[in-house]
Amino acid sequence: MEVKYQKTKGLTDKKLSYCPGCTHGIVHKLVGETLEELGMIGDAIGVASVGCSVFSYEFFNCDMQQAPHGRACAEATGIKRVRPDNIVFTYQGDGDLASIGIAETIHAANRGENITVIFINNAIYGMTGGQMAPTTLIGQRTTTSQDGRNQVLTGSPIKISEIFSQIDGVAYLERVSVTNPKQLIKAKKAIKKAFTYQKEKRGFTLIEVLSTCPVNWGMTPVDALKWVESNMVPVFPLGVFKDAGEKNV
Amino acid sequence: MAKVLMKGNEAIAVAALKGGVDAFFGYPITPQNEIPEYLSKHLLAAGKVFVQAESEVAAINMVYGAAGAGARVMTSSSSPGIALKQEGISYIAGAELPCVIVSVMRGGPGLGGIQPSQADYYQATRGGGNGDYQLIVYAPETIQETIDIMKESFDIADYYRNPVLVLVDGLIGQMMETVDFEKPVKKRFIPAKDYATTGTANHPGRNIVNSLFLDPVELEQHNLQLQKKYQQIKNNETKYEMINMENPEYVIVAYGTMSRICRSAIESLKEEGIEVGMIRPISLWPYPKAAFNEIPSGVKGILCAEMSMGQMLDDVMISDKGRHEIGFYGRVGGMVPEPEEIVDAIKNFKDKVVK
């Protein structure tokens, strides 16, 4: 019998620790498939961050380092500078990247570090139990914004792709979602492009993935996907924010 | 290379190159800036890695990444900067990675000042990071000794897979002395870095650099393993010097810049007929507790002298186990005592003990 579909070699056989309906698993699959299809598994060194994806070092089937909270891009810088021919990527959530680690991330981008950042934006702190994130929407209820995020007291959702599009060192930057098969295909293409640019030593690449957190949002997985489309996409519009262009060889 | 006259901080940088450093990550802070300045030129010229990070926090995490990937790596900073690095240092120790950290101490607390100080003894030996971990801490007293220790530190770090902290103060960093970079260092067998994340194409299995153990049984085992290593370091890497210990009436305990000042004081006191010995810890962790067992009988008291308000004093008391009267003399804030102050401190201590 012909095998039509099988799990990517880019992921280990370890059972994922994510909650049912969370889109981390989908994004892991896309990254794993990308590493496999581009023949990068043996050269890849991933950096796991702090948050729900803390255990991603057990899931990606390549060498991995586990970073302190927010420091993934600094750690990736250290790795890439001493191993410039390896493929180095980070996998970070919005608390890790956009709050505690924004300095490390923005400066890695500004130095044009030749690394790929997979940025999961689900508008909430998942691992710690649903606190407000810098990406939390105005009015969104979390355990630390129980009446909804108040713009006067806590500011507005931070738009990482818009901010990073201003940085010279960025070679590729796209915001995607994984709410339906069409978006999934687009997301895969974006991730693949980012890793390809890295292989071509083009500079810093970041893919922001709008993601769900059904448990902390208090929704069913299906409603959570709908909420991304109806509530998150208007605030975080999808699309390519920066593309240094195909390489003219 | 013949003997050359060189500034302490630059000598540290040259010694790092001699020690085979592959990569430096740091952030500017006085009084250690000559270290990154020198390395920025010479590391890049040698095709190696230099990155001026956006912060001390980022710098130590770059060290963490590069050490995990198998490189010989270092950073340098001064007191408030070392405070910022504590998070990364704890992770590096927890993940059992080698690196060399240079701390050129200045006065504190807070922003403090930029003049020489020894007020970071606790920071170095007790650690500001979380968890049961230890750094191997060396506190040289001359630029020559700093060079020799720097060169050896990379081997020691690799051998034990543990960070080594070279602790000097702004005086050693900023002064010039005649030095020789070719003094041989102890040869050590350095095991292959089979833990390094170099890509699974380059080694069997997957390599994971990690300090997370959610299972308490595993985390306790990890800690017990670390303790075993620390015991081995205590047995093998404790360094100290005994000075004028033939028949002393009193004993000074001092390290780094303070021990140099005390050497002069001991000479002056000798001329006055007062014999004073000195225990000079070179490794602050592991602390040379055994040196205190070698104190000859008849010693009337021990004076601990530091450029702090009395931090090493704790270890002196722990090591002496109540056998002697213990006194303390300290200056802080960047005030470096004259030898005469130590002479007076011994005399005052003597009066107190004799009473």
Q: Tell me the per-residue pLDDT of B34-63, one tens digit each, with 9 for 90 and over.
A: 999 999 999 999 999 999 999 999 999 999
Q: Which chain A residue lies closest to B64 (C-alpha atoms)?
A: A75
Among the partner-chain residues A67, A75, A82, the one whose CB lies closest to the CB of B71 is: A82
Q: Which chain A residue lies closest to B69 (C-alpha atoms)?
A: A79
If asked whether residues B157 and B269 sit together in one domain, one would say no
Task: Give A43 to chain B, closest Cα distance, Å.
Answer: 4
Q: State yes or no: pLDDT of B200 exceeds 70.
A: yes
Name the nearest CA neighbour of A44 among A83, A101, A93: A83
B47: left (phi over 0), alpha (psi -120 to 50) or beta: left
| Long-range contacts, B123-127 (Cβ 8 Å, 24+) | B123/B79, B123/B82, B123/B83, B123/B86, B124/B82, B124/B165, B124/B167, B124/B284, B124/B285, B125/B284, B125/B285, B125/B287, B125/B315, B127/B86, B127/B89, B127/B90
The structure tokens 């355990």 sit at: A143
The separation between the first and the last C-alpha atoms of chain B, rounded to the nearest angstrom, is: 55
Task: Give B195 to chain A, closest Cα distance, Å.
Answer: 10
Q: Which domain holds residue B128?
A: 4-237
What rounded mean pLDDT belongs to chain A?
A: 97
If asked whether residues B141 and B197 sit together in one domain, one would say yes
If asked whether residues B285 and B230 sit together in one domain, one would say no
**% of chain B surpassing 90 pLDDT:** 97
Residues A232-245 have pLDDT tens digits of 999 999 999 999 98
Indicate the domain borders of chain A: 41-243
If asked whether residues B334 and B280 sit together in one domain, one would say yes
What rounded mean pLDDT belongs to chain B?
A: 97
A76 contacts in chain B (CB < 8 Å):
65
If asked whether residues B96 and B84 sit together in one domain, one would say yes
What phi and psi, each to the nearest 5 degrees, are found at residue A37?
Answer: -65, -30
CA gap A214, A227 in Å, rounded: 10
DSSP state letter for A135: T
Q: pTM, whole model, 2 decimals? A: 0.97
If asked whether residues B326 and B297 sit together in one domain, one would say yes
| Buried/exposed B39-59: b ≥16 CB within 10 Å, e otherwise | bbebbeeeebbbbebbbbbbb
Q: Which of A63, A69, A110, A127 to mutate to test the interface with B (most CBs of B within 10 A)?
A: A63
B56 contacts in chain A (CB < 8 Å):
none
If asked whether residues B188 and B257 sit together in one domain, one would say no
Q: Looking at this protein, which amino acid is placed at residue B24? A: F
B129 contacts in chain A (CB < 8 Å):
none
For chain A positions 7-36, those within 8 Å of chain B (CB to CB) are: 12
Task: Give A130 to chain B, closest Cα distance, Å.
Answer: 20
Q: Note whether A49 contacts B: Cβ–Cβ < 8 A.
A: no
What phi and psi, each to the nearest 5 degrees, are found at residue B300?
Answer: -90, -20
Among the partner-chain residues A74, A81, A83, the one whose CB lies closest to the CB of B61 is: A74
A65 contacts in chain B (CB < 8 Å):
64-65, 68-69, 197, 208-210
If asked whether residues B199 and B93 sit together in one domain, one would say yes
Q: Which chain A residue lies closest to B214 (C-alpha atoms)?
A: A55
Both tokens assigned to B202: 């380059």
Q: State yes or no: pLDDT of A249 exceeds 50.
A: no
DSSP state letter for B290: G
Task: Give B295 to chain A, closest Cα distance, Å.
Answer: 45
Q: Note whether B211 contacts A: Cβ–Cβ < 8 A.
A: yes
Counting beta carbons within 10 angstroms of the beta carbon of residue B18, is it exposed (0 to 12), middle (13 to 18) or buried (19 or more)?
middle
Counted domains in chain B: 2
Q: Note whether A68 contacts B: Cβ–Cβ < 8 A.
A: yes
Q: Note whether B89 contacts A: Cβ–Cβ < 8 A.
A: no
If residue B306 lies in a helix (H) or strand (E), which one and from where to where?
strand B301-306
If asked whether residues B265 and B187 sit together in one domain, one would say no
Confidence band for A91, pLDDT divided at 50, 70 and 90: very high
If asked whether residues B55 and B176 sit together in one domain, one would say yes
Counting beta carbons within 10 angstroms of the beta carbon of residue A118, is it exposed (0 to 12), middle (13 to 18) or buried (19 or more)?
buried
pLDDT value for A246: 67
Residues B244-271 have pLDDT tens digits of 999 999 999 999 999 999 999 999 999 9
Question: What is the pLDDT averaged over residues B17-45?
Answer: 98
If asked whether residues B183 and B322 sit together in one domain, one would say no
Peptide bond into B339 cis (omega under 30): no
If asked whether residues B106 and B229 sit together in one domain, one would say yes
* Assigned superfamily of A41-243: Thiamin diphosphate (ThDP)-binding fold, Pyr/PP domains (3.40.50.970)
Question: What is the pLDDT averaged over residues B142-162?
Answer: 98
Residues B145 and B179: beta-carbon distance below 8 Å:
no
Write the CA distances from A6 to A2, A187, A188, integer angstroms: 11, 20, 17
Question: What is the pLDDT averaged over residues B229-239?
Answer: 98
Question: What is the pLDDT averaged over residues A125-151?
Answer: 97
